[in-house]
Amino acid sequence: MRTAWLMSILAMAASFVTSARAQNLDYNKIEILTEQVAPDLYILSGSSGLDPAHEDAAGGRIGVLAGGDGILMVDAQYGQLGDKVLAAVRRISAAPIRFLVNTHIHRDHTGGNAAFAKMGAVIFAREELRQGMVRAAASTASDPAGLPVVTYGMGEPIKLHLNREIVDLIPVRAAHTGGDTMIRFENANAIMIGDYYRNFGYPFIDLNNGGSLKGMLEALDLTMKVAGPDTRLIPGHGTLVKRADLVPYRDMVSAVAGRVRELIAQGKSLQDVLAARVTAPYDATVQGGLLPAAGSASSADRFVTELYQDLKGSR
C-alpha cells in the first residue's frame, strides 16, 4: 500500500517537474541545426545547453527525407519550434511535406504534428501512440489535427517508396513507450531509433506511457538484428552510433536491472535500492547520467526507480 502511494507521488512529481521545465524553456534562443547523413537524408537538432530536459540538444532529433517525390519527416519537435523547424526544412527543399512519422508520443517529438498536418502532411504512428494522444487531449487543449491518421500495430513493417529510397516503419514492442517505431532508410543504410537508446543520460523507460524493461531489451536486440555493422543508428537524443555500440548499452541495462532484481528479492524498499547506487559502475562513462531528470534527482535515479517499479510489478 505504501509502495503504491509512493509510486503515485513519483508520477505526479514527474509530471509537475516536466511541466515546470517546459515553462522555463526559452524557445526563442533555440536554433535548429542541420546535418546531412545521405544524399537525400538530413537530421535536424536543437541547440545544446538550453533545454533542461535534454542538455545535449533541445528537443528530439528530426529526420528529413527530401527529393522530387516530396518530403517525409520523422518526428516534429516541440510545437513552439514549428516555425524554426519549417525554416530549416525549407533550406533543404521547397517540396511539399507529404508524410510525417512519429517514433513515440513525447511532445518533443510530436508537439509540432498539428502544424505540419495543416500543411498537408499525413501522419503515421503506432495505434498505441494515437490512443495516448487522444487520452491526453481529454485533459489538455491540444489540437486534434496533430493526431496520426494512419496507424498500425505490431507486425510486418510498413514500406514507403519515395525519393529513390525505401523507408521501413518497423514497430517495436513496448520499450521507451508503448508505441515505439524505428524508421529504416534502406538505401541510406540508416535507422532512426527514437528514444529506446540514448547515450546522454541513463535510459528512460516511460512506464506511464506503456514502456517496459522487457520491451527495451527486445528493441535493442531487434535493432542489432536489423542493422548491419556499418548502419548509422540515429537516436532521438545523443550521438549517432553503430550496431556495436548497442552491445555495452544493452549489457548495462541488463546488469543494472539484475542488481535491482536481487535487491527486490531481498525485500529492499525503493529508498534502499536508490541508496545502494546500483549504477555506480557506469556513472563515470554514462555522459549526463548524474544530471537532473524530470521527477528525480538524477537520470540514474529515474532509471533505477523505473526498473524498481517495473520489476516490482507495482506500476
86: left (phi over 0), alpha (psi -120 to 50) or beta: alpha
Cell of 181: 517505431
| Burial class of 70 by CB neighbour count within 10 A (0 to 12, 13 to 18, 19+) | middle
Give the integer Cα–Cα distance in Å for 202 and 221. 18
Domains of the chain: total: 1
Residue 116 near residue 147 (C-beta atoms within 8 A): no
Give domain status of residue 90, yes or no. Answer: yes
Give the integer Cα–Cα distance in Å for 206 and 273. 19
Return per-residue pLDDT of the chain as tens, 315 residues: 444 434 433 443 443 334 434 457 899 999 999 999 999 999 999 998 777 877 787 899 999 999 999 999 999 999 999 999 999 999 999 999 999 999 999 999 999 999 999 999 999 999 999 999 999 887 776 899 999 999 999 999 999 999 999 999 999 999 999 999 999 999 999 999 999 999 999 999 999 999 999 999 999 999 999 999 999 999 999 999 999 999 999 999 999 999 999 999 999 999 999 999 999 999 999 999 999 887 778 999 999 999 999 999 854
Give domain status of residue 149, yes or no. Answer: yes
Give the integer Cα–Cα distance in Å for 95 and 78. 22
Between the CA of residue 64 and those of 30, 55, 135, 152, what are the distances in Å? 19, 23, 29, 21
Between the CA of residue 3 and those of 26, 69, 252, what are the distances in Å? 37, 54, 26
Helix (H, G, I), strand (E, B) or coil at 15: helix
* Helical ranges in the chain per DSSP H: 2-24, 82-92, 107-110, 113-117, 127-137, 213-226, 243-265, 270-275, 280-283, 299-312
- Residue 25 burial (CB count, 10 A): 21
**Full domain range(s) for residue 175:** 25-245
Cell of 282: 557506469
Q: What type of residue is 29?
A: K
Give domain status of residue 285, yes or no. Answer: no
Angle at 62 between CA 289 and CA 168, to 5 degrees: 105
Give domain status of residue 103, yes or no. Answer: yes
Give domain status of residue 176, yes or no. Answer: yes
Give domain status of residue 263, yes or no. Answer: no
Per DSSP, what are the bridge partners of residue 62?
44
Residue 114 near residue 140 (C-beta atoms within 8 A): no
CATH assignment at residue 184: 3.60.15.10
Cell of 44: 535536424
Q: Position of cell 535548429?
A: 32
Cell of 7: 509510486
Per DSSP, what are the bridge partners of residue 160?
167
Give domain status of residue 230, yes or no. Answer: yes
Give domain status of residue 97, yes or no. Answer: yes
